[in-house]
Amino acid sequence: MDATFWALVGLVIFLALLVYLKVPGTVGKSLDGRADRIRDELEEARRLREEAQSLLAEYQRKRKEAEKEAGEIVAAAQREAHAILEETKQKTEEYVARRNKLAEQKIAQAETEAVNEVRASAVDIAVAAASRLLKDKVDTKVSSDLFKSSLSEVKSRLN
C-alpha cells in the first residue's frame, strides 16, 4: 500500500469526520447568518436613504415656503413704505399750503397796519398843521371850535 492510498483513506476519514461533526451545516448556518446580517444592513441603508430623501424633500419645500413668505414680507414692506411716502408727501404739501396761506395773511395784515399807521400819521400831521395855521390866524375860541369840528370830520371820513 502506497502513500496515495493512505492519503485517500485519510481524506475520506477527514471528510467523514467533518460530516459527523456537522461542520458543513455549521458553516452553512454561519454563512446564512452573515447573509441575513448583510441583507438587514442593506435594508436599513435603503430605509435610511429613503428617510434622508424624504427629509430633503421636506426641507426643500420648507425653503420654498420660506422664500415665498420672505417675498411676501418684502412686497408688503414696499407697499407700506410707498403708502408712508405718499402720506408724507401729501402732509408736506398741506403744510406748505397752510404756511403760505398764513404768510399771505400776515403780509395782508402788515399791509393793512402800515396803511392805517400812514393814515394816522397823515391825520396827526394834518391836524398839527391845521392847528398851527389856525392858531396863527384865528383867535382861541374860534380855533377851539374849528379844531373840534375838523377833528370829528376827519374821524368820520377815515372810518
pLDDT digits 0-9 by tens, 87-101: 999 999 999 999 999
Question: Average pLDDT over the chain, rounded to whole?
Answer: 86
pLDDT tops 90 at residue 68 = yes
Whether 15 shows a pLDDT value over 90: the answer reads: no
The residue count of the chain comes to: 159
d(CA 87, CA 17): 103
* pLDDT tens-digit map of 111-157: 999 888 888 888 788 878 877 776 666 666 666 777 778 778 777 77
- Which residue would you say has higher pLDDT here, 58 or 126? 58
User: What per-residue confidence (pLDDT) applies to 137?
Assistant: 67
